[in-house]
Amino acid sequence: MSHASLTPRTALLLTLPPLLWAGNVIVGRMVVGAAPPFALNLIRWLLAFAVLWPMGRAAWRDRAAIRARWGYLTLLGLFGIGCYNALQYLALHTSTPLNVTLIGASSPVWMLGVGALLYGVRPRAQDLMGAAASLLGVALVITQGDPARLRTLHFSPGDLLMLLAMLTWSLYSWLLARPPASMQGAARPAWDSAGFLSLQIGFGLFWCALGSGGEALVSDPRWRWSPTVFASLAYVAIGPSLVAFFCWGRGVAAVGPAVAGFFVNLMPLFAALMSAALLGEAPRWFHIVAFVLIVGGIVISSRRGKAG
């Protein structure tokens, strides 16, 4: 499947999501103990759905088109809305933002693997080279330029949950890039971007509610309301949800999930810079080198025809 070249506009579309998601990881860690993870995910998407409704409600009037594509919308809602962020919030209870963003940077591996196993898209040499360059940049951020720090890294149950989250995100991205015939060409419904995202969220809310209900059955989830929690909900409902998902969908459609997956490698860098800003520390040399390596990986992977 051929895609357009990686233009500056598409690069910007794919850079905004990891920036906003890095903030989402930090916010998710800040509200641990104050917001149950699955309930947080449910309220996040309820708020996002309400904000998007005036722009996306027209798509819900086309009931025949929705019924004909309910299976596809259900899968998008499950993997992208119901699973990914709920698993990430849960992972942050036993993991750190650093580890979560590190595991998130494994996105190219998952994207290439899912593409090869489920869609028959074989990784190209430049994909593998790009992955190596980008992951080297991630390693620089994690180790702060000192390889000896690798020996101090520890992985927890939350890290395993984040691996599962990355699998669901890869499946979601490939579903966007390789939609069924009913979503292609003349058969595609007249849904604009807002309407399509609204449908994804609407179908995803079922899975969010199911997860929140299960959480209530097996634990005693309690909210501890505070200005921080309210501000966190506002942020995750707008930035990492509506803005990031809109940009990601457009970017994946343009260059495919294999190339888009490399942009997720920017998350650890953004998270490190945000943490540095909160602590009043200036970026260090390894942040600059990591940025060059990560961007280099993106450039290498996007050359000469796109896999995905």
Asked whether the predicted pLDDT for residue 284 surpasses 70, the reply is no
Spatial CA neighbour of 221 closest among 65, 38, 74 = 38
- Average pLDDT of 281-285? 63
- Average pLDDT of 158-167? 88
Mean pLDDT lowest among 81-90, 250-259, 287-296: 287-296
* Residue 216 one-letter amino acid: A
Spatial CA neighbour of 141 closest among 111, 102, 196 = 102
Q: Return the pLDDT at 292.
A: 75
Asked whether the predicted pLDDT for residue 307 surpasses 50, the reply is no
Asked whether the predicted pLDDT for residue 297 surpasses 80, the reply is no
Side-chain-side CA neighbours of 235 within 13 Å: the count stands at 18
To which residue do tokens 């998350």 refer?
Answer: 267
Q: Return the pLDDT at 219.
A: 87
- Average pLDDT of 171-187? 92
pLDDT tier, 138 (very low <50, low <70, confident <90, very high otherwise):
low
More confident residue, 154 or 19: 19
pLDDT, tens digit, 9 for 90 and up, residues 200-247:
999 999 999 999 999 999 988 889 999 999 999 999 999 999 999 999
Tokens representing residue 250 in the block: 């457009």
Q: Return the pLDDT at 83.
A: 96
Quickly list DSSP for 59-108: HHT-HHHHHHTHHHHHHHIIIIIIIHHHHHHHHTTTS-HHHHHHHHTTHH
Q: Return the pLDDT at 120.
A: 86
More confident residue, 176 or 103: 176
Quickly list DSSP for 177-197: HS--GGGSGGGS-S--HHHHH
Q: Return the pLDDT at 110.
A: 83
What totals of helices (H) and strands (E) does the chain contain, helices first? 15, 0
Q: Which positions ≥6 away from 167 have C-beta within 8 Å? A: 110, 114
Q: Return the pLDDT at 4.
A: 55
Quickly list DSSP for 199-225: HHHHHHHHHHHHHHHHHHHHS------
Asked whether the predicted pLDDT for residue 281 surpasses 60, the reply is no
Q: Return the pLDDT at 1.
A: 42
pLDDT tier, 6 (very low <50, low <70, confident <90, very high otherwise):
confident
Q: How far apart are CA 297 and CA 306, in angstroms?
A: 14
Q: Return the pLDDT at 142.
A: 66
Contact 9, 255 (CB under 8 A): no
Asked whether the predicted pLDDT for residue 304 surpasses 60, the reply is no
Q: Return the pLDDT at 104.
A: 77
pLDDT tier, 306 (very low <50, low <70, confident <90, very high otherwise):
very low
The per-residue b/e assignment along 88-122, b for 16 or more CB within 10 angstroms, e otherwise, is bbbbbbebbbbbbbbbbbbbbbbbbebbeeebebe
Spatial CA neighbour of 22 closest among 302, 278, 297 = 278
Share of the chain above pLDDT 90, in %: 45
DSSP letter at 303 equals: S
Asked whether the predicted pLDDT for residue 122 surpasses 90, the reply is no
pLDDT, tens digit, 9 for 90 and up, residues 47-62:
999 999 999 999 999 9
